[in-house]
Structure 1
Amino acid sequence: MESIGFDDGLRVNVMLADYAQVADGKLNVIGGGWSVTGPEPSPFAIAGLFEVPWHLADQLHTFRFELIDMDGTAVMCRTPDGMQEVFFEGSFELGHPEDAKPGSVQRVPFALNGGMLPLEPGTHYEWRLSVDGGVHDGWRLPFATRAREE
């Protein structure tokens, strides 16, 4: 799991997996930690934990994972509505639990499960994360697709 620090104290631990779910406030991951997939389309998940410091708990936070190719171009996928960018987005907001003390950190688990993406074999991609509209070089989750055997 890669830990990525945000400028204002927010952090995220994130990984690619075969499947993930959040249940009872815990993150359950199956087949986690891969960085190579394919060449055939297969299901996948982005799983992780946002670590939210005390001073950011009473704010709405938005996030977006966008799939890009190595040229930095958004990956497009055919849908019933035509070609669309491949992304996940969401938001979360925390209060302060009664027993929490100033300076404490709360963890917000997330599991984003995707379907069978038809990605080009023998290519490199990355999921780029933005939080609250900000993007930084370190907020990337790179992976590759295997080449087809001839």
Structure 2
Amino acid sequence: MRAMVLLAHAGHLDHKSGTVHALGLGWTTSPTPTPQHTLIVFVEVEWSEIGKPFPIRAELIDSDGNQVAQTEENVINARRHPVHPKGTPVTIPFIATIPPLHLKVGERYQWRVTIAGEMHEDWLAGFTVTDG
């Protein structure tokens, strides 16, 4: 399993096409309180995992490793589309809308994602809080 984690100012998951529409993708600094934003995760699973449920959640960690916020736990499922050749990996998009957060200026934060109880070093998106 692989995952790519991104931050956007806004995002919408199109369930029909399995795509994410995003604005302001890839930001790395934010004033405080942070504006509402979107955490976007693309999860790639193996063909053999199609149809299996995967619990997914994210937590916001400060530079000391303390949890500051978290998303609700959700469940994602890989679906096979007729165009996927047998045996190819399938990508599952997931988004979470994050409300404004009052965070400390000058601090670095990371959204860390856990999928089916697994967390990897690169399953994160970080940002630094500025004073404006």
Q: Normalization by structure 1: what TM-score?
A: 0.77
Change (3 A) 1:39 1:91: same
For residue 104 of structure 1, the aligned residue among 88, 98, 102 is 88
Match of 1:36 in 2: 29
Q: Does structure 1 retain, via aligned residues, the 8 Å contact 2:56–2:116?
A: yes
Match of 1:11 in 2: 2
Report the alpha carbon displacement of residue 110 of structure 1 after superposing the two structures with TM.
1.8
Percent of residue pairs bearing the same amino acid type: 25
Q: Normalization by structure 2: what TM-score?
A: 0.86
Match of 1:49 in 2: 42
Consecutive unaligned residues of structure 1, counting only runs of 5 or more, are 1-9, 76-84
CA distance in 1, matches of 2:120, 2:93: 21
* Letter in structure 1 aligned against 2:9: D
Consecutive unaligned residues of structure 2, counting only runs of 5 or more, are none
Q: 36-45 or 92-101: which moved more?
A: 92-101
Q: Tell me which protein shows more strand as a share of its residues.
A: 1
Report the alpha carbon displacement of residue 113 of structure 1 after superposing the two structures with TM.
1.0
User: What secondary structure is seen at the aligned counterpart in 1 of 2:111?
Assistant: strand
CA distance in 2, matches of 1:136, 1:48: 13
Match of 1:7 in 2: none
CA RMSD of aligned residues (A): 1.9
User: What secondary structure is seen at the aligned counterpart in 1 of 2:48?
Assistant: helix
Match of 2:104 in 1: 120
Which structure has the larger Rg? 1
* Letter in structure 2 aligned against 1:15: L
Q: Does structure 2 retain, via aligned residues, the 8 Å contact 1:21–1:110?
A: no
